[in-house]
Structure 1
Amino acid sequence: MSDKKPATVAVRAGICTDTQFNAVVPPIYLTSTYSFPQMGEVPQYDYSRSGNPTRNMLAEALSELEGGAGGIVTNCGTSAINLLVSALLGPDDLIVAPHDCYGGTYRLFDSRARKGDFNVTFVDQGDPEALSAALARNPKLVWVETPSNPLLRVIDVAALCEKVKKVGALVAVDNTFLSPILQQPIALGADFVVHSTTKYINGHSDVVGGVLIAKEAEQAEELAWWANCIGATGAAFDAYLTLRGLRTLAPRMKTHEENSARILAYLQTQPLVGQIYHPSLTEHPGHEIALKQQHGFGSMLSFELDGSEQQLAEFVKTLKFFSLAESLGGTESLIAHPASMTHRAMSDEAQAEAGIKPSLLRLSVGLEDPDDLIADLDQAFTKAAEVKG
């Protein structure tokens, strides 16, 4: 682990490293290729798919934040997941994945398993019996998503890793919802951490990217080889923008959380709001685990609208400061309907098993003034209440 605080790591990444002109902010290297000193002498960088100074700077910063030995910056979050399974798994290997994971992850694992690339079983990892039965099948990899998308379920990473290690499997954790500011899975026993850097790490909804971080240097080197081999690496300009976004990650996460807490308190007073999903609530099954392994509860929350389909549609349509869109973690507030948006790749049966109802809405709380956000929600609830179910 770094001897610096996370906020310092994020801000100082690459600062004052330019030795040519002493620029405080590091330059961006847009070149696709690099010259060789002479024939037979391979330089540190030869082609930007395999290595780029700007991209490597971002990878090093994120690896330090997560306490890893090395990281690979990819062209999107799904690409980071695909890189890991491509490098690790063969046709006879098994992944144990959560039944309520992000829809894109579910689609990737399910589709590749159907092709025979590997095997996958989706289980409720919060159910000790279901998890034990899955681990008895000797998996190669256990995929963890905590808090989960979109139901904010929390898994005890340390306890799970202890069980998984007994069967000789590896653990990968999707840490996108919290960022390394609020959770570091490697310190809890995980072997790999994945982020969609599109989300909080970049934080401005203008870059698509991902990162895969390994606990061990040997693993990181193998993953870097595979990333070059299959062309999964990210672009230099995207890495430059993400590095710029990273510098404000800590203060952004603080404000995101403060705004989310205000909205959570407001939602608890609304008659049209049914069940709320957020680990800060004491009645949340993962509340105590979150207190133990997280440095905050994050700003993602979901709730079920206790009304008709028409009322739900009116509520979403009337909002002014919550844009109806996929993704999350940007400065702007977003609202999503998981069943028809982020998780539409899952069958109705898989959604029902995961607990994703048609009435579920997911909020990514942004950095607007919380009074404005609450006023917007209030007028939308008022309009929805006027609709005849």
Structure 2
Amino acid sequence: MKTQTLAVHAGQQPDPSTGALNTPVYLTSTYSYGTAQEGKDRFAGKNPGYIYSRFANPTSSALEQKLAALEGADEAVVVASGMAAISSIVYALTQQGDEVAFIDPVYGGTDAFLRNTLVRAGVKVVSYSSDDDFVSRHNPNTRLVLWEPVTNPTLKVVDSRKIIAVAKQIGAITVCDNTFLTPALFQPLSIGADLVMHSGTKYLCGHGDIIAGVIAGNGPLIQRVRTVALKHIGVPMGPQEAYLLQRGVKTLPLRMRAHCDNAKAVAEFLATQEKVAAVYFPGLAAHPGHQAIADTASGFGGMVALELHGGFDACARLLDNLTLFAQAVSLGDLESLACHPASTTHAAMTPDDRARANVTDKLVRLSIGVEDIEDLLADLAQALAKV
């Protein structure tokens, strides 16, 4: 089945007791297993069935089946947040003395976790400035490599094919954060990645009303991650969130087409404005890495970044005069959002780290929603006029 059909139908069966088409929200913490022997068998993994909702819940299980189908994965596991997804992957698949590599820049929370928290567990963390940098000076002892194919917030393109090829040579586990593109546009597993993760809070949900994380990929790896995430760390997704995320995913392909079309129009408009110093959008032919995304994905996403002459003051004037764009730090909602990454999403990074990742004071990040494009362009034009 094609992506749009999978988004609607995968993982969804009529409820056996009522015939309800939508998966029910199973609000229970525990499950009766009948006899003592049945309980013993379930805990030993000899008998399928639910035991405790921290381990598995029917609502979450249906969502996991849908997400695995969309990603072309053996399995998927859903957790409480995108950061829970990152931390669960790394803690499950690395140990003291291992090396984790990532390609700069990444989401500010990911950067802070890797540099400030993971190192306390005795794991070495190394960053690379680009895919070519990783190719030229990679460490053969790297255990795991993480990247975003379109980076947050500068929209720099990382060629996933280069990362995967080198990682396979050295035996490293590959983890692609596909939050910006989603499986509606790009399936990293189809070109050889081991795991793909998302902040499900963003495009997968699309409605800005839950916090969620998703991990999909190779079955044995997912089982290791599931054990650490749900049994050891204890970061399951609640059934209500699972229900809402399943609802959001059903319209993902439809929404992503609208996001992509609007983002392209916004980027083209901004590129004509004298007050705009630079525009970053991989859908522009002049954007570095444009062809890498064109070769591997069916769209360029709904994120646009720009730099203004004048630094923070100019950015603040633009942001404070927008009326349709809400100033908020998330992305992927139906509504358009805008923020100043250096002082918000990436504020936890040191000034040196922000400079290294080109997260400057003159950078504004836009999450382009699905409003009428003429209204969005008019809002940007009137706000730019006041800069």
Q: Same fold (TM over 0.5)?
A: yes
Q: Size of the alignment, in residue pairs?
A: 378
**d(CA) in 2 for partners of 1:16 and 1:7?**
17
Indicate the residue corresponding to 1:60 in structure 2: 65
Indicate the residue corresponding to 1:122 in structure 2: 127
**d(CA) in 1 for partners of 2:315 and 2:76?**
42
1:39 aligned onto 2:39 = no
Residue 142 of structure 1: SS of its match in structure 2?
Answer: strand
Residue 301 of structure 1: SS of its match in structure 2?
Answer: strand
Do 1:14 and 1:26's aligned partners in 2 also have CA atoms closer than 8 Å? Answer: no
**d(CA) in 2 for partners of 1:38 and 1:353?**
60
**Which of 225, 228, 243 is 2:227 aligned to?**
225
1:97 aligned onto 2:102 = yes
1:379 aligned onto 2:382 = yes
Residue 383 of structure 1: SS of its match in structure 2?
Answer: coil
1:14 deviates by 4.0
1:127 deviates by 3.0
1:145 aligned onto 2:142 = no
1:353 aligned onto 2:356 = yes
Indicate the residue corresponding to 2:249 in structure 1: 246
1:310 aligned onto 2:313 = yes
Q: RMSD value over aligned CA atoms?
A: 1.3
**d(CA) in 1 for partners of 2:202 and 2:118?**
27
**d(CA) in 2 for partners of 1:134 and 1:112?**
23
- The one-letter amino acid paired with 2:244 is L
1:206 deviates by 0.4
Q: Deviation per CA, 1:236-281, whole angstroms, max 9, x where unpaired?
A: 1000000001111111001111111221121112111111111111
Show structure 1 runs of 4+ deviating over 6 A. Answer: none
Do 1:272 and 1:307's aligned partners in 2 also have CA atoms closer than 8 Å? Answer: no
Residue 212 of structure 1: SS of its match in structure 2?
Answer: strand
Do 1:143 and 1:172's aligned partners in 2 also have CA atoms closer than 8 Å? Answer: yes
Indicate the residue corresponding to 2:138 in structure 1: 134
1:83 aligned onto 2:88 = yes
Residue 71 of structure 1: SS of its match in structure 2?
Answer: strand
Q: Deviation per CA, 1:313-356, whole angstroms, max 9, x where unpaired?
A: 11110110111110100011000111011111111001111111
- The one-letter amino acid paired with 2:92 is A
1:63 deviates by 1.0
Residue 96 of structure 2: SS of its match in structure 1?
Answer: coil
**d(CA) in 2 for partners of 1:39 and 1:68?**
35
Q: Deviation per CA, 1:72-115, whole angstroms, max 9, x where unpaired?
A: 10000000010001101111000011121110100111112431
1:194 deviates by 0.4
1:308 deviates by 4.8
1:309 deviates by 3.5
**Which of 256, 261, 274 is 2:259 aligned to?**
256
Q: Deviation per CA, 1:277-329, whole angstroms, max 9, x where unpaired?
A: 11111121101101111110111010101235433211110110111110100
**d(CA) in 1 for partners of 2:312 and 2:24?**
51
**Which of 150, 165, 170 is 1:167 aligned to?**
170
- Higher mean Cα deviation, 223-232 or 78-87? 223-232
In structure 2, do the counterparts of structure 1 residues 300 and 352 end up closer, same or farther at CA, with 3 Å as the change threshold? Answer: same
- The one-letter amino acid paired with 1:78 is M
1:49 aligned onto 2:46 = no
1:152 deviates by 1.1
Indicate the residue corresponding to 1:19 in structure 2: 16
- Higher mean Cα deviation, 116-125 or 338-347? 116-125
- The one-letter amino acid paired with 2:225 is L
TM-score under structure 1 length normalisation: 0.94
- The one-letter amino acid paired with 1:226 is V
Structure 2: gaps of 5 or more residues: 43-48
1:364 deviates by 0.2
**d(CA) in 2 for partners of 1:155 and 1:330?**
24
**d(CA) in 1 for partners of 2:173 and 2:313?**
45
Structure 1: gaps of 5 or more residues: 385-389
TM-score under structure 2 length normalisation: 0.95
Indicate the residue corresponding to 1:331 in structure 2: 334
- The one-letter amino acid paired with 1:133 is R
Do 2:108 and 2:346's aligned partners in 1 also have CA atoms closer than 8 Å? Answer: yes
**d(CA) in 2 for partners of 1:100 and 1:201?**
22
Residue 386 of structure 2: SS of its match in structure 1?
Answer: helix
**d(CA) in 1 for partners of 2:335 and 2:292?**
29
1:13 deviates by 3.3
1:225 deviates by 1.6
Identity %: 39
1:370 deviates by 1.0
- The one-letter amino acid paired with 1:358 is D
- The one-letter amino acid paired with 2:162 is A
